[in-house]
Chains A and B, each alone.
Chain A
Amino acid sequence: MSEPIVLKYKVTDGEFQHVGEASSSVKKELRALGVSPDALRRISVAMYEGEVNMVIHANGGTITVEITPQQVKMILDDVGPGIPDLEKAMQAGWSTAPDEIRNLGFGAGMGLPNMKANTDTMEIDTRVGEGTRITMTVNL
Protein backbone atom coordinates (compact mmCIF):
# COMPACT_ATOMS: atom_id res chain seq x y z
CA MET A 1 0.00 0.00 0.00
CA SER A 2 1.41 3.35 -0.96
CA GLU A 3 1.23 6.25 1.48
CA PRO A 4 -1.72 8.64 1.02
CA ILE A 5 -1.00 12.02 -0.54
CA VAL A 6 -1.82 14.68 2.05
CA LEU A 7 -2.69 18.29 1.21
CA LYS A 8 -3.27 20.97 3.83
CA TYR A 9 -4.94 24.36 3.47
CA LYS A 10 -5.55 27.26 5.81
CA VAL A 11 -8.91 28.97 5.35
CA THR A 12 -8.94 32.58 6.55
CA ASP A 13 -11.91 34.19 8.28
CA GLY A 14 -13.87 36.79 6.31
CA GLU A 15 -11.85 36.24 3.12
CA PHE A 16 -14.58 36.38 0.51
CA GLN A 17 -12.15 37.26 -2.24
CA HIS A 18 -10.26 34.04 -1.69
CA VAL A 19 -12.87 31.53 -0.62
CA GLY A 20 -12.81 28.61 -3.03
CA GLU A 21 -9.07 28.71 -3.63
CA ALA A 22 -8.42 25.60 -1.54
CA SER A 23 -11.18 23.70 -3.38
CA SER A 24 -9.92 24.87 -6.78
CA SER A 25 -6.40 23.83 -5.90
CA VAL A 26 -7.55 20.36 -4.80
CA LYS A 27 -9.54 20.00 -8.00
CA LYS A 28 -6.43 20.77 -10.07
CA GLU A 29 -4.30 18.28 -8.12
CA LEU A 30 -6.91 15.55 -8.46
CA ARG A 31 -7.40 16.19 -12.15
CA ALA A 32 -3.65 15.81 -12.64
CA LEU A 33 -3.86 12.48 -10.78
CA GLY A 34 -6.45 11.28 -13.30
CA VAL A 35 -9.56 11.32 -11.07
CA SER A 36 -12.80 10.94 -13.11
CA PRO A 37 -14.79 14.11 -13.96
CA ASP A 38 -17.78 12.92 -11.91
CA ALA A 39 -15.77 12.28 -8.74
CA LEU A 40 -13.87 15.54 -9.31
CA ARG A 41 -17.09 17.47 -9.44
CA ARG A 42 -18.55 15.84 -6.33
CA ILE A 43 -15.37 16.43 -4.34
CA SER A 44 -15.17 20.06 -5.50
CA VAL A 45 -18.80 20.80 -4.61
CA ALA A 46 -18.55 19.24 -1.15
CA MET A 47 -15.27 20.88 -0.30
CA TYR A 48 -16.29 24.31 -1.59
CA GLU A 49 -19.47 24.34 0.50
CA GLY A 50 -17.46 23.35 3.56
CA GLU A 51 -14.84 25.98 2.81
CA VAL A 52 -17.49 28.70 2.42
CA ASN A 53 -19.16 27.68 5.68
CA MET A 54 -15.83 27.99 7.51
CA VAL A 55 -15.49 31.56 6.22
CA ILE A 56 -19.10 32.62 6.79
CA HIS A 57 -20.14 30.81 9.94
CA ALA A 58 -16.92 29.90 11.72
CA ASN A 59 -13.69 31.84 12.06
CA GLY A 60 -11.81 30.11 9.30
CA GLY A 61 -9.88 26.93 9.96
CA THR A 62 -7.91 24.22 8.24
CA ILE A 63 -8.72 21.65 5.57
CA THR A 64 -6.76 18.42 5.25
CA VAL A 65 -7.22 16.28 2.16
CA GLU A 66 -5.95 12.69 2.09
CA ILE A 67 -5.81 10.97 -1.26
CA THR A 68 -5.42 7.25 -1.86
CA PRO A 69 -6.17 5.33 -5.06
CA GLN A 70 -9.47 4.22 -3.44
CA GLN A 71 -10.82 7.42 -1.92
CA VAL A 72 -10.46 11.10 -1.14
CA LYS A 73 -10.99 12.11 2.47
CA MET A 74 -11.59 15.75 3.43
CA ILE A 75 -11.28 16.90 7.03
CA LEU A 76 -12.55 20.42 7.76
CA ASP A 77 -11.65 21.81 11.15
CA ASP A 78 -12.76 25.13 12.58
CA VAL A 79 -12.78 26.80 15.97
CA GLY A 80 -16.03 28.64 15.28
CA PRO A 81 -19.21 28.77 17.36
CA GLY A 82 -20.28 25.19 16.64
CA ILE A 83 -23.73 24.16 15.38
CA PRO A 84 -26.35 24.13 18.17
CA ASP A 85 -29.06 22.25 16.25
CA LEU A 86 -27.48 19.95 13.71
CA GLU A 87 -30.75 18.42 12.59
CA LYS A 88 -32.04 21.85 11.58
CA ALA A 89 -28.74 22.84 9.98
CA MET A 90 -28.85 19.77 7.74
CA GLN A 91 -32.31 20.70 6.42
CA ALA A 92 -32.42 22.15 2.92
CA GLY A 93 -33.31 25.83 3.14
CA TRP A 94 -32.28 26.44 6.76
CA SER A 95 -29.74 29.24 7.15
CA THR A 96 -28.55 31.76 9.71
CA ALA A 97 -26.57 33.74 7.12
CA PRO A 98 -26.86 37.52 7.69
CA ASP A 99 -28.13 39.89 4.98
CA GLU A 100 -24.72 41.07 3.79
CA ILE A 101 -23.79 37.43 3.14
CA ARG A 102 -27.08 36.78 1.35
CA ASN A 103 -26.37 39.74 -0.90
CA LEU A 104 -23.31 37.86 -2.14
CA GLY A 105 -25.52 34.97 -3.23
CA PHE A 106 -25.00 32.71 -0.23
CA GLY A 107 -27.54 31.70 2.40
CA ALA A 108 -29.86 29.36 0.50
CA GLY A 109 -29.34 26.82 3.26
CA MET A 110 -28.14 24.27 0.70
CA GLY A 111 -24.47 23.92 1.62
CA LEU A 112 -24.65 21.10 4.15
CA PRO A 113 -27.28 19.19 2.08
CA ASN A 114 -24.99 19.55 -0.99
CA MET A 115 -22.08 18.17 1.02
CA LYS A 116 -24.15 15.20 2.13
CA ALA A 117 -25.50 14.52 -1.36
CA ASN A 118 -22.10 14.63 -3.04
CA THR A 119 -20.09 12.44 -0.66
CA ASP A 120 -20.15 8.75 0.22
CA THR A 121 -19.75 9.39 3.95
CA MET A 122 -20.06 12.55 6.03
CA GLU A 123 -19.57 12.89 9.78
CA ILE A 124 -20.06 16.06 11.77
CA ASP A 125 -18.54 16.51 15.19
CA THR A 126 -19.62 19.88 16.53
CA ARG A 127 -19.46 21.48 19.96
CA VAL A 128 -21.07 24.77 20.80
CA GLY A 129 -18.42 27.31 21.75
CA GLU A 130 -15.57 25.05 20.62
CA GLY A 131 -15.83 24.34 16.93
CA THR A 132 -16.78 21.90 14.23
CA ARG A 133 -15.01 19.06 12.49
CA ILE A 134 -16.54 17.67 9.31
CA THR A 135 -15.07 14.54 7.77
CA MET A 136 -16.21 13.55 4.29
CA THR A 137 -15.10 10.80 1.94
CA VAL A 138 -15.66 10.23 -1.75
CA ASN A 139 -14.87 6.82 -3.21
CA LEU A 140 -12.87 6.82 -6.42
Chain B
Amino acid sequence: MTVSSLSEKKIFETVSLADPDREIGSVFCCDLLSIAMGKAPADCAWVTVMSNINTLAVATLADASVVILAEGQRPDETVAAKAAEQGVNLFATPLPIFEAALKIQELL
Protein backbone atom coordinates (compact mmCIF):
# COMPACT_ATOMS: atom_id res chain seq x y z
CA MET B 1 0.00 0.00 0.00
CA THR B 2 1.31 3.47 -0.79
CA VAL B 3 1.16 6.38 1.63
CA SER B 4 -1.24 8.21 -0.66
CA SER B 5 -3.68 5.28 -0.69
CA LEU B 6 -3.54 5.20 3.11
CA SER B 7 -4.22 8.93 3.10
CA GLU B 8 -7.28 8.39 0.89
CA LYS B 9 -8.80 6.03 3.46
CA LYS B 10 -9.28 9.09 5.70
CA ILE B 11 -8.48 7.14 8.85
CA PHE B 12 -5.90 9.74 9.78
CA GLU B 13 -5.58 13.44 9.24
CA THR B 14 -3.00 14.10 6.53
CA VAL B 15 -0.61 16.84 7.65
CA SER B 16 2.00 16.37 4.93
CA LEU B 17 1.92 14.17 1.85
CA ALA B 18 5.32 15.15 0.56
CA ASP B 19 6.28 11.78 -0.91
CA PRO B 20 2.92 10.16 -1.81
CA ASP B 21 4.21 7.16 -3.77
CA ARG B 22 6.24 5.66 -0.92
CA GLU B 23 5.27 2.04 -0.22
CA ILE B 24 4.47 1.01 3.36
CA GLY B 25 6.18 -2.27 4.20
CA SER B 26 5.43 -2.67 7.91
CA VAL B 27 4.24 -0.88 11.05
CA PHE B 28 6.57 0.20 13.85
CA CYS B 29 5.76 1.79 17.25
CA CYS B 30 8.25 3.53 19.53
CA ASP B 31 8.70 6.91 21.22
CA LEU B 32 12.38 6.79 22.05
CA LEU B 33 14.29 8.24 19.14
CA SER B 34 17.47 6.21 19.26
CA ILE B 35 15.53 2.96 19.63
CA ALA B 36 13.48 3.94 16.58
CA MET B 37 16.70 4.88 14.81
CA GLY B 38 18.18 1.46 15.50
CA LYS B 39 15.10 -0.70 15.05
CA ALA B 40 12.60 0.93 12.69
CA PRO B 41 12.53 -1.11 9.46
CA ALA B 42 13.06 0.83 6.25
CA ASP B 43 9.71 1.73 4.61
CA CYS B 44 7.74 1.35 7.85
CA ALA B 45 4.77 3.39 9.02
CA TRP B 46 6.11 4.75 12.31
CA VAL B 47 3.50 5.43 15.00
CA THR B 48 4.63 7.67 17.86
CA VAL B 49 3.50 10.37 20.29
CA MET B 50 6.80 12.20 19.96
CA SER B 51 6.06 15.27 17.87
CA ASN B 52 9.12 17.36 17.28
CA ILE B 53 11.76 18.25 14.71
CA ASN B 54 13.93 15.36 15.84
CA THR B 55 11.17 12.86 14.99
CA LEU B 56 11.33 14.11 11.40
CA ALA B 57 15.11 13.76 11.29
CA VAL B 58 14.89 10.18 12.52
CA ALA B 59 12.13 9.37 10.01
CA THR B 60 14.23 10.74 7.15
CA LEU B 61 17.46 9.09 8.19
CA ALA B 62 15.93 5.71 9.07
CA ASP B 63 13.86 5.71 5.83
CA ALA B 64 10.39 5.48 7.41
CA SER B 65 7.65 5.88 4.78
CA VAL B 66 5.26 7.86 6.98
CA VAL B 67 5.05 9.14 10.56
CA ILE B 68 1.70 8.89 12.37
CA LEU B 69 1.37 11.08 15.46
CA ALA B 70 -1.06 9.29 17.77
CA GLU B 71 -2.96 10.14 20.98
CA GLY B 72 -4.01 13.55 19.68
CA GLN B 73 -0.45 14.85 19.51
CA ARG B 74 -0.42 17.81 17.16
CA PRO B 75 2.54 18.90 15.08
CA ASP B 76 3.25 22.59 15.71
CA GLU B 77 3.64 24.90 12.70
CA THR B 78 7.41 24.45 12.55
CA VAL B 79 7.10 20.67 12.49
CA ALA B 80 4.35 20.70 9.85
CA ALA B 81 6.34 23.06 7.64
CA LYS B 82 9.56 21.08 8.09
CA ALA B 83 7.81 17.83 7.20
CA ALA B 84 6.75 19.25 3.85
CA GLU B 85 10.17 20.78 3.28
CA GLN B 86 12.10 17.61 4.14
CA GLY B 87 9.81 15.33 2.14
CA VAL B 88 8.42 13.53 5.20
CA ASN B 89 4.88 12.12 5.03
CA LEU B 90 3.12 13.05 8.27
CA PHE B 91 -0.34 12.04 9.59
CA ALA B 92 -2.05 12.76 12.91
CA THR B 93 -4.82 10.99 14.82
CA PRO B 94 -6.59 11.07 18.18
CA LEU B 95 -6.37 7.24 18.27
CA PRO B 96 -4.08 5.51 20.78
CA ILE B 97 -0.83 4.14 19.38
CA PHE B 98 -1.94 0.50 19.34
CA GLU B 99 -5.22 1.19 17.56
CA ALA B 100 -3.58 3.45 14.99
CA ALA B 101 -0.98 0.78 14.27
CA LEU B 102 -3.60 -1.95 14.06
CA LYS B 103 -5.64 0.00 11.49
CA ILE B 104 -2.60 0.19 9.22
CA GLN B 105 -1.64 -3.43 9.84
CA GLU B 106 -5.12 -4.57 8.79
CA LEU B 107 -4.64 -2.84 5.44
CA LEU B 108 -1.22 -4.31 4.65
Contacts and interface: CB of A to CB of B under 8 A. Distances in A.
Interface stretch (A104-112, A123-131, A132-140): A104-112
A111 B60 CA distance: 17
Closest 10 CB pairs of A and B: A20-B57, A110-B34, A44-B61, A108-B32, A105-B33, A114-B38, A105-B50, A108-B34, A111-B34, A48-B61
Interface of B: 31-35, 37-38, 42, 50, 52-55, 57-58, 60-63, 78, 86
A27 interface: yes
B12 to A, nearest CB: 21
A80 B99 CA distance: 43
A104 to B, nearest CB: 6
A105 B62 contact: no
Nearest to A18: B53
B8 to A, nearest CB: 27
Interface of B is mostly: helix
Interface of A: 16-17, 19-20, 23-24, 27, 37, 41, 44-45, 48-49, 52, 104-111, 113-114, 117-118
A45 B38 contact: yes
Interface centre among B37, B61, B86 (most CB of A within 10 A): B61
Contacts of A114: 34, 37-38
Contacts of A44: 61-62
Nearest to A45: B37
B34 A19 contact: no
B35 A110 contact: yes
Given A37-B63, A110-B32, A24 B57 contact: yes
Interface centre among B35, B57, B86 (most CB of A within 10 A): B57
